[in-house]
Amino acid sequence: MSEKKANGFGTAPVFFTAISTILGAILFLRFGYAVGTLGFAGVLLIVFIGHFVTIPTAFAISEIATNQRVEGGGEYFIISRSFGLNIGGTIGIALYLSQAISVAFYVIAFTEAFEPLFNWFHNRFGFELYRQFISLPAMGLLSLLILKKGANLGVKALYVVVAILFISLFLFFIGKTEYSQTAVAGITSNPLRNMDSFFIVFAIVFPAFTGMTAGVGLSGDLKNPAKSIPVGTILGTLTGLLVYIFIITKLVNSASPEDLVNNQLAMKDIAVWGWIIIPIGLAASTISSALGSVMVAPRTLQALGHDRTFPFKRFNILMSKGKGLTNEPFNASVITIMIAFVFVAIGELNAVASIISMFFMVTYGSLCLISFLNHFGSSPSYRPTFRSHWILSLIGFVFSVYIMFKMDSLYAILAIVVMVALYIYISYYHSDRQGLESIFRSALFQINRNLQVYLQKNQSMKKKVSWHPSAICVTEVNSDRDNAFRLLTWISHKYGFGTYIQYIKGYYSNTAHDQAKEALELLIERAESRKSNVYVDTIVSPSYTSAIAQIIQLPGISGLDNNLALFEYDKKDPVNLQQIVENYPLVRSGNYDVCILGGSNRGVNFHEGIHIWVRRVDYDNLNLMVLLSYIILGHSDWKGAKIKIFNIRRPGQKDETTDNLLELVKTGRLPISLKNVEFIDIDESMNLKKLINEKSIKAGLTMIGFRSEQIKHEGEKLFEGYTDMGDVLFVNTFRDKEIN
């Protein structure tokens, strides 16, 4: 490995591979058509929009490459080590196919340099000569070059063709035409036209900008990837941008729109010695692009094989193997050449070129998304020496997705469907590997952290936001009761927040710590099995009272304070009821609403709904009971269930509770029908608890309000006498809740 790095490439191959691919076939064959169709401003807009993708991607690659060790595979390596091997493999396969087919695309474009030969043959013999007459031998020679000499000779040849390319461009820029000397022409004449064809032309021209990451594929052959990739990629991208602006200006001032549209080699009529230098420049640019692609694609396939991406063990081994000290990907090159030969023989790549562009856009969008997410959710070890800005990365990602659908919605959807299918298959084959969740977990952590800090700093929000329950409950770790956890599951399903804590009695030690971890794992399993949104945890505390003192001081998971304390006891065996009563004043000192759940051992009769009992003396609890009821009914367990309110009043006495209740219903502030409100007159001789047992014996959940004075004077007796019913929730509000 050290010898390989000592003989590795520097920055120049990255730059030349990128610039030779950027200034490739599209430049010579399609830019004249684009300028003739859209005018100066239209094509300039294409260039700028295209670079809204390529420049952020170049910066994103540079940022990631200066943070982590970049090995063979270029873009694939970066994506797979950021998004995980499954999503990396998905994008890597699509990227590899795009690179392999690009070889054929450039070889076919190379044959257009021989247009004078094809025209002569047609005029001399009277029939068209197939393009494959040139493209297949050219593909064969390119294959021999790569298979025999590898990337070293490929890079040397790259220097030669890039030199020819720049000479041809120089002669093009100094060339003059009769049109440029006599016409008013130029930038100010018809600068913008045919904008209804803008994205059609964009789809034709965009592959010209996709070469800026070509040099990244050499990552495994570079001495110092962290230096060469940023410098070479950014320099190539910006150089390409400047050259394209100059070429557009030259074209619009040197030929009429008609000539540009109808003559795909219009540049040869502008350049000095254009009849020979432009075909040579076209040949040089296309063969250099093909050369760059045929060097990069096998290295992507080699990296995919090394990561065992494919479901065929033998194939992975063959593709990962290299030759010599430089680990030249010979086997992967053979496969790449075979794929390229197939498409060269077909000779028609318009539809395939669109798919290639789509997959390149997916790759660029992924790189920008990685950079964006790392700005908000990176690990502490993410410290790149080159920093892009998150806004730039976001722009690159958004434009990648937007342009995909603007170029061709059908191909965009097809590309996404193929990618999803690949991801599902690879995830199934490699179920032990992480998927997308790794990087998104960090981003969500940072978002939650910033949100918590923001909410704490803006204390005034607590007074302005509508009330949501943020309930917290503590039980002993050896408790096998489930009623409170089930209630928290209903509360936290949609509108509320629930925290369920089990405490281990004792003093903190290594043993207690291990016991708490084991208990927490069981709690998490329970929450997952029920698809519950309840947050679970464990604590170690010497007593029930100290455990309560601890939990009521905990910050709420919502970012706001916890506001409701939930206790639970077994109605048939209320062994812990005395503890609850004794600790009630402690909880109230924290300004908590208090709910005490008397649990039964029978199932919940969801069909019978929730019953609410209200009296004049505890009317303040009504709104809290109603709000909790509606939140609970939002859970799918309670589908179709109703709320029923029982109002207890003294006969012959004016009852403000009844009047207020009727007013709430009539004004719609209480969304309950009057038929679900029952007014019950009761005198002193009647037993209220017996009445509640009779009326609510079948209810799924019964809510009964209570006051602090009652628990102070009656103690445990306040909660006794409801053994025949289902679950009973005793509710005490700290302050009145508003129903809007």
Q: Which of 371, 394, 393, 398 is nearest to 384 (CA)?
A: 371
The answer to whether the beta carbons of residues 328 and 362 sit under 8 Å apart is no
Torsion of CA 520, 526, 527, 532, to 10 degrees: -160
Q: Which residues pair with 704 in a beta bridge?
A: 613, 730
**pLDDT exceeds 70 at position 443:** no
10 C-beta neighbours (distance < 10 Å), count: 14
Q: Which of 587, 519, 577 is nearest to 547 (CA)?
A: 587
13-17, 227-231, 443-447, 567-571: which is most confident: 567-571
- The distance between the two most distant Cα atoms of the chain, rounded to a whole number of Å, is 121
The H-assigned helical ranges of 23-131 are 25-29, 31-65, 75-83, 85-111, 115-125
Q: pLDDT category, 161, cuts 50, 70, 90?
A: confident
pLDDT at 717: 92
Amino acid letter at 316? Answer: N
Task: Report, as an integer, the average pLDDT of 211-219.
Answer: 66
Domain ranges of the chain: 2-169+188-247+291-437, 466-732
The CA-to-CA distance between both ends of the chain, in Å, stands at 70
- Domain 466-732 in CATH 3.40.50.300? The answer is no
The answer to whether the beta carbons of residues 704 and 729 sit under 8 Å apart is yes
SS3 255: coil
Strands (E), 489-622: 497-505, 535-541, 564-570, 593-599, 610-615
CA of 316: how far to CAs of 302, 310, 406, 429, 511, in Å? Answer: 8, 6, 37, 14, 47
**pLDDT exceeds 70 at position 398:** yes
278-287, 365-374, 584-593: which is most confident: 584-593
Q: Are strands 593-599 and 727-732 parallel, antiparallel or unpaired?
A: antiparallel
Q: Are strands 564-570 and 535-541 parallel, antiparallel or unpaired?
A: unpaired
Task: Report, as an integer, the average pLDDT of 405-412.
Answer: 82
341 C-beta neighbours (distance < 10 Å), count: 18
**pLDDT exceeds 90 at position 354:** no
Distance CA 180, CA 175 (A): 10
Pair of tokens at residue 621? 């609890």
The answer to whether the beta carbons of residues 120 and 296 sit under 8 Å apart is no
SS3 645: strand
The answer to whether the beta carbons of residues 362 and 94 sit under 8 Å apart is yes
Q: Which of 110, 79, 83 is nearest to 95 (CA)?
A: 79
Q: Which residues pair with 642 in a beta bridge?
A: none
User: Taking each helix axis from N to C terminus, what angle separates 225-254 and 11-22, rounded to the nearest 10 degrees?
Assistant: 30
Q: Which pairs from 6-11 meet CB under 8 Å and 24+ separation?
A: 6/223, 7/325, 7/326, 8/221, 8/222, 8/223, 9/151, 9/155, 9/218, 9/221, 9/222, 9/223, 9/228, 10/222, 10/223, 10/224, 10/228, 11/227, 11/228, 11/231, 11/232
Q: How many helices (H) and strands (E) does the chain have?
A: 28, 10
**686-735 per-position pLDDT tens digit:** 888 999 999 999 999 999 999 999 998 999 999 998 988 999 999 999 88
The answer to whether the beta carbons of residues 621 and 595 sit under 8 Å apart is no
The answer to whether the beta carbons of residues 273 and 164 sit under 8 Å apart is no
**59-85 per-position pLDDT tens digit:** 887 777 676 556 656 677 777 776 678
- Of 2 and 74, the structure prediction assigns the larger pLDDT to 74
Torsion of CA 544, 545, 546, 548, to 10 degrees: 90
pLDDT at 706: 93
pLDDT at 732: 94
Share of the chain above pLDDT 70, in %: 83
pLDDT at 5: 44
pLDDT at 1: 38
pLDDT at 278: 86
Indicate the burial class of 249 (C-beta count within 10 angstroms; 0-12, 13-18, 19 or more). middle
Pair of tokens at residue 149? 């000499």
In DSSP notation, 326-391 reads TTB-HHHHHHHHHHHHHHHHH---HHHHHHHHHHHHHHHHHHHHHHHHHHHH--TT---SS---HH
- For the ranges 277-286, 607-616, 618-627, 635-644, the lowest mean pLDDT is seen at 277-286
Indicate the burial class of 579 (C-beta count within 10 angstroms; 0-12, 13-18, 19 or more). middle
**pLDDT exceeds 60 at position 185:** no
Amino acid letter at 675? Answer: K
Task: Report, as an integer, the average pLDDT of 327-351.
Answer: 81
The H-assigned helical ranges of 126-197 are 132-174, 178-182
Residue whose structure tokens are 């830019």: 31
CA of 522: how far to CAs of 472, 477, 478, 528, 537, in Å? Answer: 19, 10, 12, 10, 10
pLDDT at 456: 57
**pLDDT exceeds 60 at position 381:** no
Task: Report, as an integer, the average pLDDT of 615-641.
Answer: 88
21-30, 126-135, 573-582: which is most confident: 573-582
**248-270 per-position pLDDT tens digit:** 989 988 888 888 888 878 888 89
Q: How far is CA 407 from the centre of its chain?
A: 22
Torsion of CA 120, 123, 125, 126, to 10 degrees: 140
pLDDT at 593: 93
Q: Which residues contact 439 (CB under 8 A, 6 or more apart)?
A: 82, 83, 84, 370, 373, 374, 377
Task: Report, as an integer, the average pLDDT of 420-448.
Answer: 70
**pLDDT exceeds 50 at position 543:** yes
- DSSP class of residue 130 equals P
Q: Which residues pair with 9 in a beta bridge?
A: 222
The answer to whether the beta carbons of residues 366 and 401 sit under 8 Å apart is no
Q: Which of 491, 729, 486 is nearest to 610 (CA)?
A: 729
Distance CA 715, CA 695 (A): 25
Amino acid letter at 227? Answer: K
For the chain, the average pLDDT equals 81
- Of 181 and 223, the structure prediction assigns the larger pLDDT to 223
pLDDT at 13: 78
**pLDDT exceeds 50 at position 6:** no
57-61, 213-217, 468-472: which is most confident: 468-472
Task: Report, as an integer, the average pLDDT of 199-207.
Answer: 80
pLDDT at 71: 63
Radius of gyration of the chain (CA): 37
Q: Regarding the domain with residue range 2-169+188-247+291-437, which homologous superfamily does it belong to in the CATH classification?
A: Amino acid/polyamine transporter I (1.20.1740.10)
Q: Which of 92, 100, 55, 64 is nearest to 76 (CA)?
A: 92
